[in-house]
Amino acid sequence: MTPAEAPRILGVPAVVALGVLASGFALLAAAVLAASVWTFAAGAALVYAATVFVQLRAPRALRELSRYRLGSTTQALLRQGLLLALLGTTGAAAGIPLWAAIGAMMALFCLQFGYDVVLRRLRRYRSLPVVTRNIDLDPLDIPDGPPAFLVTGALRRLLLLDAAVLAGVLAGLITQSEIPALAGPALAVVAGTAALAALVPYAVAARRMAVGEEVVAYMQTWIDGYGPEVLLYYAGTDTGIHRADMWLEPLVRQGDRRRPLVVLRDRSAAAHLAPTPLPVLCVPDAEDLAALDFGRARVALYPDSNAANTDLLRNQRLRHVLVGHGDRDGDAVPDPVCRAYDQVWTAGKGGRDRYASARSVLRDDAFVEIGRPQLDAVARMSVHATAGPVPTVLYAPTWEGTAAAPRGTSLVDAGEALVELLLGAEPPVRVLYRPHPATGTRDPRAAAAHRAIVAMIEDAGRAAPVSGTAPGARRLAAIEERIRGSAEYHRKRDEARGSRDDGAVGSGEVEELQRLEREWNRLYWLGRAPGEHLAVLDGRPDLYSCFDHADLLISDISGVITDFIATGKPYAVANCAGVPDMEFRTAHPTAAAAYLLRPDGRGLKEALRAVADTEADVYAGPRAKLASYLLGPEEPTAQERFADAVDALYRTAAAEIPQREPAMRHGADGGGDGGDEAAPVVRGANGRSAPPRHARGAAAARAGNGRAPDPVARP
């Protein structure tokens, strides 16, 4: 990051704060050389004010400082060292202020060291081998964790206690009194001691928590009691969690046909998974996953081809299905790794043909067409989108992708030109800009184009303000506050407490949040004027809600196109590959019924005419045929086809793979001596014997503190 890029990356307030911080330290150094107490006090005030601002409001700036060894600890050492130097230049090097400062600094170092040790142990004790939602963990007796202020950023705040030392010593030098020179350091030491004393009881309570092996043993008993039949397995991080999110509701809507369980592998994914009433089990460690037997489960659904999928693909008691996260053209699809799965479920015949054209080695009967159950609720063309005089054009470009590709995103080559033409269109249209969440993360040119488009939309709004009303504005703000408060509460909890609290049965929180999201969407659109240009940047309103309020989509080759085709409305695709239109359509079947746009905007007028005059929509018929080809028939619904596919595969797998009784899985088959110390045989995910880790933990508990796990399953 260059100095010129700092305001854009860190933000202007953060850059100003860093400037104030540097100026403050310069004043401190100058004060030492000049032996000026008042100058030192002014510099200290600037330093502490800037430091607090950076810690609270500019965490990225703090990370940048740490990269250059200028983090919180270095700054504290500089402050304290300069104070001692000031005492030397002012002639107070042999008095009480010097020894009070040195003693307080040494005491603070010891307290900070002790706090760090206790905090590390606390985190280790409270770090469970699993993260859960909607799973009853009451039998594990997880105690409350410490308040967030004692954990998050606590060590950085402890380093700021030297402010009392500096204030006391400086006050003593100014007043020529020993009282403040003693009171300030004493106050710092007392505050540090109080913080450590407040943390210790939580660490003591955490020592009594169940150890890793006990938790895994309890989870196995819970699985035995719950009896999952179908698993949704996602091994990615939070950056791709939308891939798992999109399959939550279809699994909920299938009702009681097959009991689902969501299995995650990354803790960040568990923290960012969408609210759901489904039980969620995150098992980061592959050995812990191998120690679990999913019992009655016979079907595993995978929304992507993550390398860590192999940890479950080894399970021969499951039938493995690649369901993907959208039906799209592109170089990444079809993935040759699909050979590892028993079946691949596509939306329609188009997906099947895509694999066939890639010479997939899978048999034809390994493909099942289920449609896109996520689209069943999307409004079709018969419902007018905007219900107003100004049509809405949704520009939803994809991101730049995992590798450089000339036709990845249209943002770089065409984005600004297209938006400029739309903003100046006659008759006027409303522009709704909703980029991919990962836009700009790999290509700075895409990030620059994104910022330019947002600025263009904001400028257009200021130049032509709309006179729309905002009914329900207070209610909208109240809903936002409720949703934000819930997210903030969940973010501040540690994982152990979150798993415990989220296991409450029948709390209704998930249903309430989903209802609030629907109401938020309704009020948001109700408060928008027909001609109001919008940039949707924070994920709300969601993509399908934007579909419902759009008359035309402009996008790139991505799953967004296939999903929008379900609406029956016109769509346009940016052809930035520099190839003839016919060749482009042949390479990308999803563009077969699209209005193709050139980087300079050629083709846009034709697309806009199709919105204004349905008679001019030459691709209406081809779109209907393409929708059937890509998404399958409208009846039965995609949700019904999905549920039928899950049920059919489960029945087939259950017939081929007999059910093992829990007693057989845990080795209690009469072969043992029945003694308390007989370690059960634990079956891993692949059906083979695995080291009885949780059995050893239980035996150790009985031999040690007498605490054995009390796994009471919730059916």
CATH label of the domain that carries residue 399 = 3.40.50.2000
CA distance 323 to 625: 23
Which positions ≥6 away from 359 have C-beta within 8 Å? none
Question: Is pLDDT above 60 for 695?
Answer: no
Contact 405, 393 (CB under 8 A): no
- Residue 278 sits in the same domain as residue 338: yes
Q: Around 101, how many Cα atoms within 13 Å sit in the side-chain half-sphere? A: 30
- Residue 285 sits in the same domain as residue 367: yes
- Say how many domains are in the chain: 3
Residue 297 lies in a domain: yes
Residues 42-70 have a mean pLDDT of: 93
Q: How many CB atoms lie within 10 A of CB 664?
A: 12
Distances (CA, A) of 218 to 136, 638, 697: 10, 37, 11
- Residue 86 sits in the same domain as residue 192: yes
Residue 424 lies in a domain: yes
Give the domain-ending residue among 616, 631, 646. 631
Element (H, E) at 280: strand 280-282
Give the domain-ending residue among 375, 403, 418. 375
- Residue 66 sits in the same domain as residue 117: yes
Residue 488 lies in a domain: no
Q: Max Cα separation, the chain? A: 94
Residue 118 lies in a domain: yes
Kindly indicate the confidence band of residue 484, based on its pLDDT and cuts at 50, 70 and 90.
confident
16-32 tens-digit pLDDT: 999 999 999 999 999 99
415-471 tens-digit pLDDT: 999 999 999 998 899 999 999 888 888 888 898 999 999 999 998 877 666 554 556
Contact 439, 397 (CB under 8 A): yes
Question: Is pLDDT above 50 for 692?
Answer: no
Residue 116 lies in a domain: yes
In the block, tokens 């482009």 appear at 584
Predicted pLDDT of residue 705: 35
- Residue 109 sits in the same domain as residue 152: yes
Residue 659 lies in a domain: no
Token pair listed for 366? 């390994």
- Residue 200 sits in the same domain as residue 82: yes
- Residue 404 sits in the same domain as residue 289: no
- Residue 241 sits in the same domain as residue 267: yes
Predicted pLDDT of residue 476: 86
Closest CA relative to residue 299, chosen from 290, 312, 286, 288: 312
Which residue range forms the structural domain that includes residue 598? 392-463+535-631
The proportion of the chain whose per-residue pLDDT surpasses 90, expressed as a percent, equals 60
Predicted pLDDT of residue 94: 67
Residue 426 lies in a domain: yes
Q: Which amino acid is residue 56, in one-letter code?
A: L
Contact 648, 294 (CB under 8 A): no
488-519 tens-digit pLDDT: 777 777 889 889 988 865 567 888 888 998 89
Distances (CA, A) of 643 to 243, 251, 259, 598: 19, 8, 11, 41
Q: Where residue 345 sits, what CATH number does that domain have?
A: 3.40.50.11820
Give the domain-ending residue among 329, 349, 375. 375
Least trusted range by pLDDT, from 103-107, 280-284, 331-335: 331-335
Predicted pLDDT of residue 715: 31
Query: What's the whole-number average pLDDT of the chain?
Result: 85
Predicted pLDDT of residue 380: 65
Contact 539, 562 (CB under 8 A): no
Residue 638 lies in a domain: no
DSSP H helical segments within 306-391, as ranges?
Answer: 310-313, 349-357
Contact 597, 572 (CB under 8 A): yes
- Residue 353 sits in the same domain as residue 419: no
* Three-state DSSP state, 370: coil
Predicted pLDDT of residue 704: 36
| Most confident of the ranges 308-322, 343-357, 671-685 | 308-322
- Residue 369 sits in the same domain as residue 426: no
- Residue 236 sits in the same domain as residue 350: yes
Distances (CA, A) of 620 to 333, 564, 567: 27, 13, 11
Residues 475-482 have a mean pLDDT of: 88
107-164 tens-digit pLDDT: 999 999 999 999 999 999 999 999 999 999 999 999 999 998 999 899 999 999 999 9
- Residue 199 sits in the same domain as residue 295: no
CA distance 393 to 555: 11
